[in-house]
C-alpha cells in the first residue's frame, strides 16, 4: 500500500521533499502554490529537475497536486469562469512540469444556476484544459465533496456526469475523500455502509477509475454536510471503520493520502503510525516437520 500525507511547501519544493522523506512517505500530495492566491512562483528548470530526481530516488509515487481553492470551474458567471479556467490551465501546466501523476480538483459551485449548468461548465473547463496540453500524461482527479452550500461533487452521479461529458475521458479519474463521503451521507463508518458505498461507486463510475483516496476522519457527525477533517480513529468515523477501509480488497493498490490536521509536528507521524497499525499483515505459514 502506498501511503503519504499532504506535505507543506513552506520554504520551497525541496523542503517538501525533505518532509516527505522524514515521514517515510511512499506517496505524497502538495500544493504547487498558495491555495488561496492566484499568483504563483515560476518553476525554474533546475528546481523542477532537482525535485523530480529526489522524489524518484526516494520511490515516492504517485505525486498528487491539489488545485487551488480559489478556482471555481462550475461558475455560471463568465468572468469568474474564465479566470478560473486560466488558473486551472496554468496549474495543469505546472503539474506537468513537476512530472506529477495527478491534479486533484474540487469542481466548485454554480450557485443559483443549478446542478446541470454547473456540471456542463466543469466539463467544458476540463475539455479546454486537456486540449491546452494534449500530450501531457497528467490525469485530472475529480474529488468528492462534503455537500455543503451549493457546491457540486457530493454525489457520485454528479461526478460521473462531468466525466461523461469530457471527450478525453481516459485523462480523467477520481479521488475519494473519506471525511467528505461521511459528511455527504455515505455510511462508510459501518461494514454494510462501506460495502454499499463501494458498490455504488463501481456501478455509477467504476472502481477502475479510482486513483487516490484521501484518508481523513471527521470531526462532525454523519450526514452533517460539513467539511471538518480529523485525526484517524479520533473522529466520528472511528478506528474500526478505518481498519476495514485500508484493508478492503476493492481498494488494494489505491494510494492513500492523509489530509489530517497539522496542529503539532507530532500529528503527521502519529496519524501515519495509526494507519500502519491498522494494515493487516500476511500471516506466515508454519511448516510441520513431523
Neighbours of 148 (CB within 10 A): 15
Q: Which of 61, 115, 259, 267 is catalytic?
A: 259
Q: Which of 90, 91, 217, 227 is catalytic?
A: 227
Residue whose entry in the numeric block shows the C-alpha cell 462501506? 194
Neighbours of 288 (CB within 10 A): 5
- State yes or no: is 229 an active-site residue: yes
Using alpha carbons, list the distances in angstroms from residue 74 to 95, 227, 270: 21, 19, 37
- State yes or no: is 112 an active-site residue: no
Measured in whole angstroms, the distance separating CA 188 from the mean position of its chain's CA atoms is 17
Q: What are phi and psi of 193, to 5 degrees?
A: -65, -40
CB 122 within 8 A of CB 73: yes
**CA torsion 238→265→62→105, rounded to 10°?**
70
Q: Which of 90, 91, 177, 268 is catalytic?
A: 177
Which secondary structure element, helix H or strand E, spans residue 27, and what is its range?
strand 27-30
Q: Which of 6, 88, 92, 143 is catalytic?
A: 143
Q: Which of 180, 209, 211, 244 is catalytic?
A: 180
- State yes or no: is 120 an active-site residue: no
Question: CA 127 to CA 150: how far, in whole Å?
Answer: 23
Q: Which of 154, 229, 236, 244 is catalytic?
A: 229
Q: Which of 33, 106, 189, 209 is catalytic?
A: 106
Using alpha carbons, list the distances in angstroms from residue 107 to 71, 169, 220, 222, 284: 8, 16, 22, 22, 45
Question: CA 250 to CA 10: how far, in whole Å?
Answer: 35
Q: Which of 55, 209, 214, 244 is catalytic?
A: 214
- State yes or no: is 177 an active-site residue: yes
- State yes or no: is 91 an active-site residue: no
- State yes or no: is 46 an active-site residue: no
- State yes or no: is 69 an active-site residue: yes
- State yes or no: is 214 an active-site residue: yes
User: Are β-strands 217-218 and 229-230 bridged in parallel, bridged antiparallel, or unpaired?
Assistant: antiparallel
- Per DSSP, 35 falls in state T
Q: Which of 15, 56, 69, 116 is catalytic?
A: 69
- State yes or no: is 52 an active-site residue: no
Q: Which of 66, 94, 155, 171 is catalytic?
A: 66
User: Are β-strands 217-218 and 210-215 bridged in parallel, bridged antiparallel, or unpaired?
Assistant: unpaired
Residues recognised as catalytic:
36, 66, 69, 106, 143, 177, 180, 214, 227, 229, 259
Amino acid at each position: 500500500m502506498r501511503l503519504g500525507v499532504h506535505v507543506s511547501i513552506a520554504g520551497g519544493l525541496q523542503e517538501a521533499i525533505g518532509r516527505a522523506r522524514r515521514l517515510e512517505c511512499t506517496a505524497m500530495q502538495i500544493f504547487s502554490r498558495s491555495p488561496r492566491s492566484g499568483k504563483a512562483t515560476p518553476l525554474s528548470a533546475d528546481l523542477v529537475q532537482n525535485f523530480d530526481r529526489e522524489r524518484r530516488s526516494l520511490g515516492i509515487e504517485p505525486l498528487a497536486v491539489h488545485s487551488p481553492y480559489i478556482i471555481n470551474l462550475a461558475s455560471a458567471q463568465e468572468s469568474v469562469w474564465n479566470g478560473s479556467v486560466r488558473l486551472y490551465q496554468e496549474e495543469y501546466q505546472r503539474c506537468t512540469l513537476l512530472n506529477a501523476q495527478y491534479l486533484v480538483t474540487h469542481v466548485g459551485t454554480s450557485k443559483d444556476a443549478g446542478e446541470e449548468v454547473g456540471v456542463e461548465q466543469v466539463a467544458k473547463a476540463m475539455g479546454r484544459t486537456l486540449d491546452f496540453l494534449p500530450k501531457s500524461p497528467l490525469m485530472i482527479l475529480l474529488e468528492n465533496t462534503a455537500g455543503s452550500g451549493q457546491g457540486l461533487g457530493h454525489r457520485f452521479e454528479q461526478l460521473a456526469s462531468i466525466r461523461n461529458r469530457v471527450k478525453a475521458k481516459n485523462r480523467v479519474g477520481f479521488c475519494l475523500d473519506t471525511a467528505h463521503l461521511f459528511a455527504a451521507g455515505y455510511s462508510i463508518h459501518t461494514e454494510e455502509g462501506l460495502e454499499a458505498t463501494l458498490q455504488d461507486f463501481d456501478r455509477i463510475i467504476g472502481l477502475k477509475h479510482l486513483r487516490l483516496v484521501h484518508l481523513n476522519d471527521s470531526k462532525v457527525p454523519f450526514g452533517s454536510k460539513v467539511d471538518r477533517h480529523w485525526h484517524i480513529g479520533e473522529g466520528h468515523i472511528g478506528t474500526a471503520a478505518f481498519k476495514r477501509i485500508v484493508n478492503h480488497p476493492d481498494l488494494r493498490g489505491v494510494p492513500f493520502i492523509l489530509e489530517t490536521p497539522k496542529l503539532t509536528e507530532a500529528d503527521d507521524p502519529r496519524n501515519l503510525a495509526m494507519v500502519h497499525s491498522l494494515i493487516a499483515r500476511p500471516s506466515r505459514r508454519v511448516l510441520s516437520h513431523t
